Amino acid sequence: MIIGVPKEIKNNENRVALTPAGAAEIRKHGHTLYVQTNAGVGSGFSDEDYRTAGATILPTIEEVYGIAEMIIKVKEPIAQEYNLIKENQLVFTYFHFASSEELTHAMIARKAVCLAYETVEKADRSLPLLVPMSEVAGRMAIQEGAHYLEKPLKGRGILLGGVPGVPPARVLILGGGIVGTQAAKMAAGLGAHVTIMDVSLPRLRYLDDIMPANVDTMMSNEYNIRDRIKVSDLIIGAVLIPGAKAPHLVTRDMLKMMRPGTVLVDVAVDQGGCIETCKPTTHENPTFIIDDVVHYCVANMPGAVPYTSTLALTNATLPYAIQLANKGWQKACRENIELQLGLNVVKGEVVYKGVSEAWNLPYTEVTDVLQTATV
């Protein structure tokens, strides 16, 4: 198969979809690989590194999209990329269709095969291509939150871990999945007092078992959230309902109940956000303030630590990319249910329920599409 790796062009996105080690692996399987010039430079990989691994470097993004049967990238295509995507081209990347109607319509119109990292799903319902980025974002959420709690950045001026004789900050984490767990570990490690809320009792039980003594767990409901936000210094939004918009757990009126300088980090912003007042921001301008409450809502948090993120992401995506390249998307998706669940939009048809529900679009069973697909 002919595979293309474009340079990411979304604001401050320095990750790349393939490392030179991954490039060598793909070449070992006999595929042709084109990498756009400087695609890896933000993650510390030079064109020469990719050339040595057997890739051909192309000077423009148009050439990469123009030649490739499969595009592997990191972020969802942005408007400038829509028209580069060809009919029948396989695009393997994060899409987050449920949070962008424009992107959904654009990909339907391009008649491409859109296989979304975020909905590839294992039998135990875990999302293997979200996990590494969630791990990064969860750990970063505390690092960023602690930073914005500083007074010059309009925070409450409280040190997360306190000092002897001064109590630590209180951190409230909404959602005890991957992001929430990693955030809790970091916050607890820094000495903060942490509360994790989730709607899953088995998950709360598990967290209660593995977390240190400065972490407690609580059922997530409006009553408990209203109660805890009054005393929390840092609130992390980390809920996920797979393939659908996040529910607004913190509503506009609740901001008035928080203390001035409280910091909100809505990691779930890429799925619409679980804090009503959060709107996506970028690393260039990560925060805004409403009612004296600092909102940090960067939709691509791992983009700020591209070295760690690129390695973590490609560790997880490469085995799937190789299956797709070796077998073609049709056979790979028929034989591997995990990959099949990643199909969201195929040649103009929406084949993922959460996406059709989000934008009220007709839904086609993925198995129907696979039955009729050739190869």
- Residue among 31, 96, 193, 295 flagged as catalytic: 96
Binding mask 132-171 for ligand NAD (x = CB under 6 A): -xx--x----------------------------------
What are 290's strand-pairing partners? 293
**Helical H segments across the chain, by residue range:** 20-28, 47-52, 61-67, 79-82, 101-110, 131-148, 178-189, 201-210, 222-229, 306-335, 337-340, 353-359, 366-372
299 binding ligand NAD? (CB under 6 A): yes
Closer of 155 and 177 to ligand NAD (Cβ): 177
Strands (E), 228-325: 234-237, 263-266, 287-290, 293-296
Q: Dihedral, CA atoms, 1, 104, 302, 176, nearest 10 degrees?
A: -120
User: Which residue's CB is nearer to ligand NAD, number 133 or number 346?
Assistant: 133
Catalytic status, residue 29: no
Nearest residue to 264 (alpha-carbon basis) of 240, 287, 239: 287
Nearer to ligand NAD, 58 or 183 (CB): 183
Binding flag, residue 270, ligand NAD (CB under 6 A): yes
Decide if residue 187 touches ligand NAD (CB under 6 A): no
Closest CA relative to residue 65, chosen from 125, 9, 133, 128: 9
Kindly tell me which of 168 and 175 has the beta carbon lying closer to ligand NAD.
Answer: 175
Residue 186 binds ligand NAD, judged by CB under 6 A = no
Rg (CA), the chain: 21
Q: Does 302 bind ligand NAD (CB under 6 A)?
A: yes
Place of tokens 């048809």: 349
Minimum Å distance from CB 118 to ligand NAD? 6
**How far apart are the C-alpha atoms of 44 and 375, rounded to whole Å?**
38
From 31, 198, 270, 295, the catalytic residue: 270
- Based on the shown chain and the rule CB under 6 A, indicate whether residue 130 belongs to the binding site for ligand NAD: yes
- Residue 248 a catalytic site member: no
In the sheet where 293-296 sits, what is the strand order? 215-219, 193-198, 170-174, 234-237, 263-266, 293-296, 287-290
Q: How many residues does the chain have?
A: 375
The answer to whether 192 contacts ligand NAD (rule: CB under 6 A) is no
Which stretch of DSSP H or E encloses residue 91? strand 90-93
Instruction: Report if residue 174 touches ligand NAD, rule: CB under 6 A.
Output: yes
**Nearest residue (CB) to ligand NAD, 271 versus 323:** 271
Indicate whether 81 belongs to the interface with ligand NAD (CB under 6 A). Answer: no
Task: Tell which residue, 281, 269, 229, has the closest CA to residue 253.
Answer: 229
Tell how strand 343-346 and strand 70-72 pair up.
unpaired
Among 177, 306, 328, 354, binds ligand NAD (CB under 6 A): 177
Return d(Cα 97, Cα 74) in angstroms, integer.
14
Structure tokens at 231: 């005393």
Nearer Cβ to ligand NAD (175/354): 175
Closer to ligand NAD at the Cβ: 53 or 267? Answer: 267
Q: Which range, of 130-138, 307-315, 330-338, 341-349, touches ligand NAD by CB under 6 A?
A: 130-138
| One character per residue 195-224, x = contact with ligand NAD (rule: CB under 6 A) | --xxxx--x----------------x----
- Residues in contact with ligand NAD by CB under 6 A are 130, 133-134, 137, 174-180, 197-200, 203, 220, 238-241, 246-247, 249, 267-271, 299-302
| Catalytic residue numbers, as ranges | 96, 270
